[in-house]
Amino acid sequence: MPISMIALSNTTLNQLPPQVLVPAYDRSKTTPGIAHLAVGNFHRAHQALYLDRVLARPGQQNWAIVGIGLRDNARETRRATIMAEQDCLYTLTEFAPDNTHTTRVLGAITDYIQAAKDRTATIRRLADPAIKIVSLTITEGGYYVDASGKFMLKDPAIAEDLKRPVPETAFGLVTEALRLRRDNGTGPFTVLTCDNLRDNGSIARTAFCAFAEARDPALGAWIRKNVTFPSTMVDRITPSVTEADTIRLDDMSGIADQMPLFAEDFTQWVIEDNFCAGRPELEAVGVEFTDDVGPYEQVKLRMLNASHSMLALPGLLMDYDTVPHAMGDAALVTLLEQFLAQDAAPFITPPQGVSLHDYAHQVLHRFRNAAVGDQLLRIASDSASKLPVFWADTVKGVLKANADHRRIAFGIACFLEYLRGETESKKPYTLSEPGLPEHARALALQDDLAAGLTMPVFAGWGLEQYPAFVKDVVTLRSSLRTHGARATLQQLDL
């Protein structure tokens, strides 16, 4: 660490460079009212930022966050170690598209537990009457709800956990904590999902209630009756942080943060106001409350996330590495502009007052933010879980309306070719598809180029009813292999 850099901890908070904003409240006077499961970059840059603002408000000091790491691996252990060394403090640098930035130290997470180290203690912590909300970012694929809306009780990860006396999944930990709370008369907490899913509150309800009912029907019934699962729409582009990013961010801030974060300057959080055990004054710090999150979710998932994937999959094949690099390619920008305006928007009913035209414009503006430099590989990762959420409704809409299907056929063809793990110049990359079992991925590698469309990713999309579409996907795949993504996109002549 260069001598001029200051380590981050409670004791150094008042010695930090003056341009860095610090918590505007006394952390020692706060207590956790929220437990967050799976503390990734997105949680630290989004929900924890809003709670940092809440904690600075009068009478809101009981809404700090206890972070709970679920994984049992070296990365998680490192995170827990750093959290302890830094008193759970970290820097977040927000970049505007004009490259101006603000760095702040966030203090809302005041405690951090690695569940794998002591699961019984974790369950007891969740059962603490002070905890009123258990929030989660366990990823799109992390809910084990299949295309027909059923919780996958037979999946080995779930089946095993149902049998463990002290469970280890998010579902198991929450179920057992709620058992203690019921038995102690503490009452329920709200389960607040912050993952990008359609109707994410209902999906969370399906998953948690089904798990609990399978483990103990009476407890399951109590949870179904007493726990609330508000839907949310969360939005903030938060790239992965490489070692080079860490050095750059720390150089900029003058702070030796071992786990700094960066994000775009845009942030949005819309929540259904349905909290069974109270909630912080989030409406005072920029959160929108509504009775129906659905329209917000639709717009965000089917426009922002969907076009992220529509950019990342061909972009990767074309050897681009980041979003702004790919956005420098005129053909990809045309693809996105047309996808947003002609494929996605016509089948979306936006919330009142939201213009889809303006939203599309804003999405592209956000993607051009060069300082954010989001990695295409991060966005492409777990596409098997994301595409059913981000693309399926658009694809169904376009096909049913018998509209121009070139862009979605190209997108799907790129997804299937991306599963081969190399760019058009034959550069390999590491696939991260936790939701795609090897036997399903094998379908995308067969000589029969239509076989990939039978993988579970596409269950319920109804593609088999559109043979002309299937034929076009096959033709595009073969063109991607022979001519590459760049030439194939040119030939689409959009």
Q: What residues from 321 to 340 belong to the interface with ligand CS2 (CB under 6 A)?
A: none
Contact mark string toward ligand CS2, 63..82, x via CB under 6 A: --------------------
Q: What residues from 187 to 216 belong to the interface with ligand CS2 (CB under 6 A)?
A: 196
What is the nearest approach in angstroms of ligand CS2 to the Cβ of residue 301? 8
CA distance linking residue 385 with residue 434, whole number of Å:
8
CA distance linking residue 344 with residue 356, whole number of Å:
10
What is the nearest approach in angstroms of ligand CS2 to the Cβ of residue 390? 7
Q: Is 289 helix (H, G, I), strand (E, B) or coil?
A: strand
CA distance linking residue 251 with residue 255, whole number of Å:
7
Q: Which two tokens stand for residue 338?
A: 């047309």
CA distance linking residue 289 with residue 293, whole number of Å:
8
What is the nearest approach in angstroms of ligand CS2 to the Cβ of residue 34? 20
Burial class (CB in 10 A: 0-12, 13-18, 19+), 429: middle
CA distance linking residue 361 with residue 241, whole number of Å:
27
CA distance linking residue 420 with residue 408, whole number of Å:
19
List, edge to edge, every strand of the sheet that includes 288-290.
232-235, 268-272, 288-290
**DSSP string computed for 55-72:** HTSTT-TT-EEEEEE---
What is the nearest approach in angstroms of ligand CS2 to the Cβ of residue 305? 4
C-beta closer to ligand CS2: residue 91 or 381:
381
C-beta closer to ligand CS2: residue 216 or 321:
321
DSSP 392: H
Whether residue 103 contacts residue 19, with contact meaning beta carbons closer than 8 Å, is answered with yes
- Find the part of the chain contacting ligand CS2 (CB under 6 A) among 235-243, 327-335, 351-359, 399-407: 235-243
Going by their DSSP bridges, the two strands 268-272 and 261-264 should be labelled as: unpaired
Is there binding between residue 297 and ligand CS2 (CB under 6 A)?
no
C-beta closer to ligand CS2: residue 27 or 386:
386
C-beta closer to ligand CS2: residue 43 or 308:
308
Q: What residues from 91 to 150 belong to the interface with ligand CS2 (CB under 6 A)?
A: none
Is there binding between residue 45 and ligand CS2 (CB under 6 A)?
no
What is the nearest approach in angstroms of ligand CS2 to the Cβ of residue 19? 27
Please give the torsion angle defined by the CA atoms of residues 395, 397, 401 and 405, in that order, rounded to the nearest 10 degrees.
-20
CA distance linking residue 190 with residue 223, whole number of Å:
10
What is the nearest approach in angstroms of ligand CS2 to the Cβ of residue 284? 22
Alpha helices in 5-65 (DSSP H): 41-45, 47-55
Single out the residue of 66, 170, 237, 313 in contact with ligand CS2 (rule: CB under 6 A). Answer: 237
- Find the part of the chain contacting ligand CS2 (CB under 6 A) among 57-65, 108-116, 155-163, 231-239: 231-239
What is the nearest approach in angstroms of ligand CS2 to the Cβ of residue 389? 9
CA distance linking residue 344 with residue 338, whole number of Å:
9
Is there binding between residue 379 and ligand CS2 (CB under 6 A)?
yes
What is the nearest approach in angstroms of ligand CS2 to the Cβ of residue 384? 12
Is there binding between residue 235 and ligand CS2 (CB under 6 A)?
yes
C-beta closer to ligand CS2: residue 137 or 423:
137
Single out the residue of 179, 215, 236, 441 in contact with ligand CS2 (rule: CB under 6 A). Answer: 236
Enumerate binding residues for ligand CS2 (CB under 6 A).
Answer: 196, 235-237, 305, 308, 379, 386
